[in-house]
Amino acid sequence: MNQSVEKAERIRACKGTRHVTLVTAYDYPTGRLLDEAGVDVVLVGDSVGMVQLGFPDTTHVTLDHMVHHVEATARGVKNALLVGDMPIHTYETVEDAVRTAGKLFRAGADAVKLEGGASQAEKIRAIVKAGIPVMGHIGLLPQKVLEEGGYRIKGKSAAEADALVKDVQAVAEAGACSVVVEGVTPSVARRITAHSPVPTLGIGSGAHTCDGDVVVIHDLVGAFPWFVPAFVKPRADVAGSMTTAVKEWMKDVYTEPGTAGS
């Protein structure tokens, strides 16, 4: 069993025993800081497209983008399970999925994450067979934002709730070590968690509904002030501190014209 598989198995073993923490990172210093803080899972998410690359959503992120950021983050992460998102259009077929997972794995990811439930089971099974751990992702799928016309909370109907339960079971049976549950009504998130044999990691699905929690680091530390999700409580004001520091520095180094060297 390779080290990446061992890390994934440690996360899987958390089901029913303790809470799992997942925080995103996209570069070396952030990855290292999160790892040293003791975070269980560091995710190089395709959210990099919005919080670092300036795109309006994740659908503009390419595999080259992800490989670049996985490589950088991997240099700082030693203990946590490092997961790399598989970007849109890079896992259309089983062969594509295995190929993309391999590129992210070789870039330094311990595991990969792909969006979708039962429909992705065959791809998950193939990636796991190739020796690469997989994290599932069900509920609200950011890569489908354009085709669905926006971000819509899932699980509001009985049929949708039943489908989500089947999704988590299918993903787990295919070999996923854990599953992100995004944008699902709290009651359904609890139901999904109760029926999942692997840890569920919630984001925007209510408090205390899953086996663990996911947060985008920029949201957590207040580093992206232009948009803060309603379900996140910022624990710092990095953007404010940065602006203040730069303004103070500019005052300190500013010299009136003609006075330099006097």
Residue 150 CB neighbour total at 10 angstroms: 6
Distances (CA, A) of 37 to 31, 128, 220: 10, 29, 14
Distances (CA, A) of 30 to 63, 179, 219: 21, 23, 13
Q: Is 47 annotated as a binding residue?
A: yes
Task: For residues 253 and 147, give the distance between their C-alpha atoms in angstroms, rounded to a whole number.
Answer: 50
Q: Is 213 annotated as a binding residue?
A: no
Distances (CA, A) of 133 to 184, 189, 229: 24, 23, 29
DSSP summary character for residue 87: -
What is the pairing mode between strands 212-215 and 178-182?
A: unpaired
Q: Is 46 annotated as a binding residue?
A: yes
Q: Determine whether 182 is an active site residue.
A: yes
- Helix, strand, coil tally for the chain in percent (to 5): 45, 15, 40
Task: For residues 63 and 238, give the distance between their C-alpha atoms in angstroms, rounded to a whole number.
Answer: 29
Catalytic residue among 6, 182, 248, 256: 182
Strand, helix or coil for residue 62:
coil
* Structural tokens at position 146: 């354009």
Selection from 29, 17, 45 nearest residue 214 by Cα: 45
Q: Is 113 annotated as a binding residue?
A: yes
Q: Is 115 annotated as a binding residue?
A: yes
Which residue spans within 123-174 are E strands per DSSP? 134-139
* Structural tokens at position 236: 């710092």
Binding region for 3-methyl-2-oxobutanoate:
46-47, 85, 113
Binding region for Mg(2+):
46, 85, 115
Catalytic (active-site) positions: 182
Binding region:
46-47, 85, 113, 115
